[in-house]
Structure 1
């Protein structure tokens, strides 16, 4: 069960508790209009205290009338999704009603792709305000934000432009699949056997999640068998590669090095032509090249912003072969 398994009274209390931490810039011009709307109790409780408005200078929290006005203006990430927030940067916040009880709904953020989170609305807002969610679909960096709400209808003061923040693909992956289990490896011995240095993001990924990284039909090569797995797939890579540089297969200089596969039988490789393994792109010999690290590739595929090798559609994870709920253990 997701993190949403809460009684309505507990959710309402969480919404009131969040409201206690938010300063409202001025008296709301109107009361929240949510009568008759079937929504999570924590959001209803928050709106009853603050009214609709813009939170932290960028996220517009909508009441019922705002939802009806804004809904046709934004592409829905799922046919059943319900809009409740719009960022000034263009991304949107939705609820995905996977079950009848709103306490069990998932929060969905849509922007550069889409992702669903097993967080209550109040937890999501609190962690976003604290800068604890590095969401890959959101262009805004994870920084602590002022808990100030400007009521709807009043001008919003523009804050200073945000400095470019370093985004961490592993932290972003953790917002999609949750925490892992720490592991250690003898990397020097593995690299000596393989004949090349491995990308640091691959090492971080397996040190964070252990040897078996299987995500929605993507199978990342396990470190201890990377040599054997590459040798087992070398002929397939050689037969399937297009003409040109991509016909070179490791241990040929700059050749493709197997790093994973998918349930749909896509073969994933690093293109090792660059002497710096931190700059190796990911190659699928059937679909093209992903110019990023393996962890960035996983994030992109899971949020629908990659090469489209897997099904990244939203829905109830309990019906999936490899369930992905969000950042919370389950």
Structure 2
């Protein structure tokens, strides 16, 4: 006789209230179907346990970081992996209320907002103000609009999982201190030359990312890795999102697990329950 699987109490309550089937776009799995359904999917972590499947194919898992299921975390796997420090019920509540713009979900209608996605990963920020006109005058060129929004949201102390975007008041000095590393990149000029590379992020591993400012539209400036010359064809905010969910160029470590064991637990604003 097979014993019944151990499940979080709130998930059992969801099954009693709704039964197996769709809730907030996620198909809840019956206890008898969990093992068979899990065998059809690649787990995002060796210990992960499947509990739901989106209509678009992405999957929902528990990460059992503690013996008590009440402390299990939610992981969504799709275009990358996203961990949230909330219960199954709270995850479905926020999802159904439109409060989670999950970057790992694909095939959603309409344009996606990378800053809204970043909020689901590291939590919301507060209002910060900068004299952008003065900063651009000092810099000698305009700044991408996503960069402005990013720092107006999170301020100059922003650090994302070992990635250090250059804060506005240090943008000129950070670039000046690192510009000599860009001299060997073939086919590129270096700021303040017109259209030159402009440093905008340093990683904990000392990798350097730069805007390629040769295009006329700052919103479309790609990012160039000074070590490899590889190009990330998105904004700085999009890069941060991609790195945190494990589908970026690999500038920082990404792993699922107990946030208490990580220096940069970038899994939302919620404490581990």
State the partner residue of 1:78.
Answer: 45
Q: Is contact 2:45-2:256 (8 Å) kept? A: yes
- How far apart are the structure 2 equivalents of 1:101 and 1:329? 16
Q: Is contact 1:212-1:220 (8 Å) kept? A: no
Equivalent residue in structure 2 for 1:135, among 95, 99, 102: 102
State the partner residue of 2:258.
Answer: 316
Give, in angstroms, the shift of residue 236 of structure 1: 1.2
Q: Indicate the structure (1 or 2) with the bigger Cα radius of gyration.
A: 1
- How far apart are the structure 1 equivalents of 2:233 and 2:81? 20
User: Does residue 45 in structure 1 map to residue 17 in structure 2?
Assistant: no
State the partner residue of 2:147.
Answer: 202
Q: Is contact 1:272-1:280 (8 Å) kept? A: yes
Give, in angstroms, the shift of residue 136 of structure 1: 0.3
TM-score normalised according to structure 1 size: 0.78
Q: Is contact 2:163-2:201 (8 Å) kept? A: yes
Bigger CA drift: 45-54 or 258-267?
Answer: 45-54
- How far apart are the structure 2 equivalents of 1:99 and 1:284? 39
- How far apart are the structure 1 equivalents of 2:245 and 2:122? 11
State the partner residue of 2:219.
Answer: 278
C-alpha change, 1:170 and 1:35, in structure 2 (3 Å) is farther
Give, in angstroms, the shift of residue 327 of structure 1: 4.2
User: Does residue 189 in structure 1 map to residue 130 in structure 2?
Assistant: no
- How far apart are the structure 2 equivalents of 1:328 and 1:84? 21
Structure 1 residue ranges without an equivalent (≥5): 1-33, 142-163
Bigger CA drift: 185-194 or 306-315?
Answer: 306-315
- How far apart are the structure 2 equivalents of 1:232 and 1:328? 37
TM-score normalised according to structure 2 size: 0.94
Q: Which deviations, in whole Å up to 9, do the C-alpha atoms of 1:104-163 show, x marking residues without a partner? A: 21110000000101121111111111222100001254xxxxxxxxxxxxxxxxxxxxxx
User: Does residue 105 in structure 1 map to residue 47 in structure 2?
Assistant: no
User: Does residue 177 in structure 1 map to residue 122 in structure 2?
Assistant: yes
- How far apart are the structure 2 equivalents of 1:52 and 1:35? 19
Q: Is contact 1:110-1:137 (8 Å) kept? A: yes
Write out aligned runs for 1:132-281 (5 A): 132-139=99-106, 141=108, 164-239=109-184, 241=185, 243-244=186-187, 246=188, 248-281=189-222
- How far apart are the structure 1 equivalents of 2:198 and 2:172? 9
Bigger CA drift: 205-214 or 60-69?
Answer: 60-69
Give, in angstroms, the shift of residue 166 of structure 1: 2.0
User: Does residue 290 in structure 1 map to residue 232 in structure 2?
Assistant: yes
- How far apart are the structure 2 equivalents of 1:102 and 1:195? 55
